[in-house]
Every structure is written in C-alpha cells, then in structure tokens.
C-alpha cells in the first residue's frame, strides 16, 4: 500500500455518507423540526449551526487514524506491505509479535501464520496484507462512528438547550419579534435558571411600564437611517434604452465576401459546380464545411438594451448600521431608580440591535470600567452578568470615553451610536476630548446623552449630538414600578 493509502482510507470513510445520515437523522427529530418551523430566523440559524458542525466533524473524524492506536499500526502495515514475499517470511514472527500490543488483528494474524499450508503459499504475503487491510478498514470505521456519535450527542445537547432557552425567552418577551429570533438562537446556548428568567422578566416589565425609556431606545435605533451621507446622494441604476448597433443579419450594405453556407447570399460563380455532375459533390462538400463564398452583408438595427446611469435618490438610502456602545454610570449616586432605568434602556437597545443585525456593547464605569458584549454567542450570559451588577463607587467618565473613542476610530464602528447614561454630576471634558469627539462625528458616528438626574452638568452634555432627560417625580416612579 502506498504511504498515502492510510490517509485515503480514513478520508474514504468520512465520505461514505455516515455524516450525511447523521445530519438527516438530527434534522428529522420532531422537537428540532418544530423549533425550525416556529421561525424562519431560527430555521436559518439552526441550518447554519448544523452546517458548521458537519464541516468540523468531517475534518475531525478524518483524523482518527492519527491517534496512537492507529498511527503505529498503519506505519507497520505500510512497511510490511512493501516487503517482498521472502522478506515477509523471514520477519513474519516479529511482525505478529508487534501486533500483539498494537492491534486487534493479532489473533487472526497468529492463526494465519500457524497455518502451514497457507504460510508456504507464494501468495501468502498478499493474502496476509489483504486481511490486515480489511481489519484496519473495519477498525477505523468503528472508531469514526464512535467519534461521530460522541459529537452528535454533544450537538443534540446544545440544540435542545437552545430550544429550552428560547422557550424561556418567549415567557420574558411575550410579544416575540421574528427579526431577532435568529440571532437570539445564536445567543441561546446559555442555560437559564429560574432566577435568571425572573430577572429578565422584571427588567422587561419595567421597560414596558416606562414608555419614555422605550421611546428613547426606539429613537436611537432609527437614527442610523437618518444619516445625511453625501456619498449616497447619487446611486447607479439600470434602465432600458433604444440603441443602434451593427449587425450581420441586416442587409443594408455589401461590405465584402466570406466563406459560409448561406445559399441566399451565394456568389454566382459558386453555383457553376452544379453544372457539372462530376463537380457537384465538391459543391455539397463546401456547403457542409461552410466554405461556399457568400456576400458579407452589414447594417444597423435598433434594439432595447439595459444602460447604467446615475440618478439622485428620491429618498434616503438604508445605511449600514454600526454597533451601539452604551456607557452606563455605575457610581453609587445612580443606585435605585436610575440604575433600573439604565439597565432597562440597555436591554431595550439590545433588542433593537438583535432585530437590526447590529452589535451592542455595554461599558459600566465608576472608578473602573467593565465591558459586556450583549449580542455575541454567549450574549445571554453577558446580559445576566450585567443585570446582576450592583452600582457603587464614584463617577469617572474620562477613561470610558477614551476607551469608546479608541473603538470608534476603526471602520467597524462607522455609523455607530455611543450612548452615555449618567446623572452627569461631573466636570466638563477637556478640549482635547471634545476635539476627538468632533472628529468622529465626521465619520457618521453619533453621540447621545441620557441624563437621569435634575442636576446634570449642561456644559458636559453640550458635547453630545442629542440628549434626553428622564427624571420623573416620586409619584411617577411609584406608578412605573407598579406591576399589576
């Protein structure tokens, strides 16, 4: 067997259809079919997840032969296979002895070697190697099937966990949104406890009761489409237009001669072959070979053609939306109702980010800052960690602004929204910081402030494009907290 045959054996088994059968068996399970049919977004995300699993497993089980239990035996087999019959007979006992500790083929090899009639057969070497090869094939297939079963069980466990989490999330957000279902499936790997579900329900109810906070979140979500981008002022379109073009099928003018088989444009002297029976066959041969001399005709014809043109937009173009970067003041002065408002607004922005296929980052700042990425694969865990964080410490806006501006300097953050939620009881930022903010605004980035106190510093908030104030009276807070 050539050196590469051991590798080809493993690859052959991975391409035998066992992986496709496993995928089909997975996707026909009733619980998975019901989950896929519940939402186009979930169905698409599930197919993508299973497709990635298929590619990974196909690569993984092709490497089973690399394990010590197979690599050593394959190396020995390849060496023995290349021996001559005489060399094999001289070393057969040693080969079988090596198989005793490395292969299940040992017992059959020992029986073959102890059979005197077979042993002295000139074809014994080839027969021995053929039996060994068949054993390797069966052993590799079993190992691959075992490996595949292990990975299939792991995938099933993950899929069922996601279905359970999605069902729990339906209880959190009673009004489900089809647009965000697919991305929520990607985040649903996290296992939610009863306490987690209650925490999410609580923040969802709070957001539902405080319409003003939800309205702020909705306005922030729409602003990415309201960018006046000069580069989008003209768009390329295609329209049908009548044009003239030259054609050999229009008989306006004779422009020359050429060989062809068109009898309607035949030169008169070509027909002379037909006047003599002995030359008639030459005419037909030229006709079949398209070698009869024809007049070349050319003219102009009019036809509709799609022509590219540029025109001004009649309305604003849908923009590529950058991420939300939500900077939340986690100082002690924000504890209580402002903390609830900040967490609810961040949760509302996460929901909008999922529906609009955007990312959402939360940065908590006080004397230090902590970053949560709410829309990544394990985003639900990040959301729960964020919601369980208790606000304390002092206010220091500069470090988190500096970190946010560094992020927004990259292309990924074009058309992004930075939202700062704070009581803004802090000094104004330095001229250098304000200049950095102004430069980023030129790249279609927007800066928003949501003040949760009556005593915010107006000079500090002037740095932002827009700012909202949300500080209802004690009676208003009591009403917003009342859950029937």
Alpha carbons 333 and 453: distance in angstroms, whole number: 10
Query: pLDDT by residue (tens digit) across 182-199?
Result: 778 878 877 888 888 888
> Looking at the predicted structure, is the pLDDT value of residue 131 above 80?
yes
> Looking at the predicted structure, is the pLDDT value of residue 1 above 60?
no
> Looking at the predicted structure, is the pLDDT value of residue 369 above 50?
yes
> Looking at the predicted structure, is the pLDDT value of residue 117 above 80?
no
> Tokens at residue 168, please?
């729990």
**447 falls in which pLDDT band (50, 70, 90)?**
very high
> Tokens at residue 356, please?
């609009």
> Tokens at residue 211, please?
């319409």
The fraction of the chain above a pLDDT of 70, given in percent, is 80
Residue predicted with more confidence, 334 or 226? 334
* pTM summary value: 0.62
Kindly report the average pLDDT of the chain as a whole number. 79
Average pLDDT for 431-440:
90
State residue 178's pLDDT score: 64
Cα 251 vs. chain centroid, distance in angstroms? Answer: 56
Q: What is the CATH number of domain 211-227+318-481?
A: 3.40.50.410
Cα dihedral angle (268, 274, 276, 277), rounded to 10 degrees?
170
Query: pLDDT by residue (tens digit) across 60-108?
Result: 766 654 455 677 788 888 888 888 888 888 888 888 888 887 788 888 8
> Tokens at residue 11, please?
């690859």
Starting at the edge strand that comes first in sequence, how are the strands of the sheet with 292-312 ordered? 234-247, 292-312, 253-260
In 38-123, alpha helices (H): 40-61, 68-81, 85-102, 106-114, 116-119
State residue 124's pLDDT score: 86
State residue 266's pLDDT score: 87
> Looking at the predicted structure, is the pLDDT value of residue 115 above 70?
yes
> Looking at the predicted structure, is the pLDDT value of residue 22 above 70?
yes
Radius of gyration of the chain (CA): 38
> Tokens at residue 51, please?
């497709």
> Tokens at residue 462, please?
């002037």
Secondary structure letter of residue 32 according to DSSP: H
Cα dihedral angle (183, 184, 185, 186), rounded to 10 degrees?
60
The fraction of the chain above a pLDDT of 90, given in percent, is 4
Average pLDDT for 474-478:
41
State residue 418's pLDDT score: 92
**419 falls in which pLDDT band (50, 70, 90)?**
very high
Query: pLDDT by residue (tens digit) across 268-285?
Result: 888 888 888 888 888 989
- Tell me the domain boundaries of the chain: 5-168, 211-227+318-481, 234-312
State residue 448's pLDDT score: 92
Per DSSP, the three-state class of 303 is strand
Residue predicted with more confidence, 349 or 479? 349
Residue 274 contacts by C-beta under 8 Å, 6 or more apart in sequence? 280, 283
Query: pLDDT by residue (tens digit) across 285-339?
Result: 988 888 889 988 887 777 666 666 555 554 444 556 788 999 998 888 888 888 8
Residue predicted with more confidence, 242 or 355? 355
Residue predicted with more confidence, 12 or 177? 177
State residue 420's pLDDT score: 92
State residue 253's pLDDT score: 76
Task: Characterize the bridge pairing of strands 360-365 and 369-373.
Answer: antiparallel
> Looking at the predicted structure, is the pLDDT value of residue 233 above 50?
no
> Tokens at residue 116, please?
């005197």
Alpha carbons 80 and 70: distance in angstroms, whole number: 15
> Looking at the predicted structure, is the pLDDT value of residue 431 above 80?
yes
């Amino acid at each position: 067997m050539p050196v590469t045959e051991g590798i080809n054996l493993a690859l052959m088994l991975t391409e035998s259809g066992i992986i496709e059968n496993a995928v089909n068996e997975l996707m026909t399970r009733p619980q998975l079919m019901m989950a896929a049919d519940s939402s186009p977004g979930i169905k698409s995300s599930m197919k993508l997840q299973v497709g990635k699993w298929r590619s990974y497993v196909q690569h993984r089980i092709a490497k089973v032969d690399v394990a010590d239990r197979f690599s050593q035996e394959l190396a020995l087999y390849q060496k023995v296979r290349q021996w001559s019959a005489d060399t094999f007979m001289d070393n057969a006992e040693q080969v079988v002895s090596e198989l005793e500790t490395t292969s299940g083929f040992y017992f059959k090899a020992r029986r073959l070697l102890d059979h005197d009639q077979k042993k002295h057969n000139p074809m014994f070497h080839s027969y021995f190697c053929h039996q060994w090869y068949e054993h390797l094939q069966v052993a590799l297939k079993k190992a691959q099937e075992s490996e595949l079963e292990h990975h299939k069980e792991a995938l099933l466990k993950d899929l069922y966990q996601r279905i359970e989490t999605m069902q729990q999330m339906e209880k959190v957000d009673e009004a489900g949104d089809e647009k965000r279902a697919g991305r929520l499936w990607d985040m649903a790997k996290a296992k939610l406890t009863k306490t987690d579900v209650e925490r999410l329900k609580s923040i969802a109810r709070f957001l539902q009761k405080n319409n003003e906070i939800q309205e702020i979140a909705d306005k922030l979500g729409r602003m990415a489409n309201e960018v006046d981008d000069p580069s989008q002022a003209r768009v390329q379109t295609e329209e049908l237009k009548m044009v003239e073009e030259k054609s050999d099928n229009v008989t306006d003018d004779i422009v020359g001669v050429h060989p062809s088989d068109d009898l309607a444009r035949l030169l008169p002297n070509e027909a002379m072959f037909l006047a003599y029976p002995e030359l008639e066959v030459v005419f037909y041969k030229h006709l079949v070979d398209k070698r009869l001399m024809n007049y070349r005709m050319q003219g102009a014809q009019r036809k509709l053609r799609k022509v590219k043109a540029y025109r001004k937009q009649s309305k604003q173009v849908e923009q590529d939306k950058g991420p939300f970067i939500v900077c939340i003041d986690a100082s002690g002065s924000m504890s209580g109702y402002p903390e609830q408002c900040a967490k609810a607004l961040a949760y509302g922005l996460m929901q909008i980010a999922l529906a609009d296929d955007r990312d959402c980052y939360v940065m908590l700042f006080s004397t230090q800052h902590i970053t949560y990425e709410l829309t990544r694969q394990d985003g639900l865990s990040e959301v729960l960690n964020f919601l369980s964080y208790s606000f304390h410490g002092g206010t220091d806006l500069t470090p988190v602004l500096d970190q946010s501006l560094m992020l927004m300097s990259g292309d990924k953050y074009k058309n992004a929204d930075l939202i700062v939620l704070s009581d803004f009881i802090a000094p104004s930022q330095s001229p250098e910081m304000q200049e950095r903010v102004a430069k980023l605004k030129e790249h279609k980035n927007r800066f928003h402030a949501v003040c949760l106190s009556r005593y915010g510093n107006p000079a500090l908030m002037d740095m932002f494009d827009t700012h909202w104030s949300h500080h209802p009276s004690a009676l208003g807070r009591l009403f917003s907290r009342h859950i029937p």
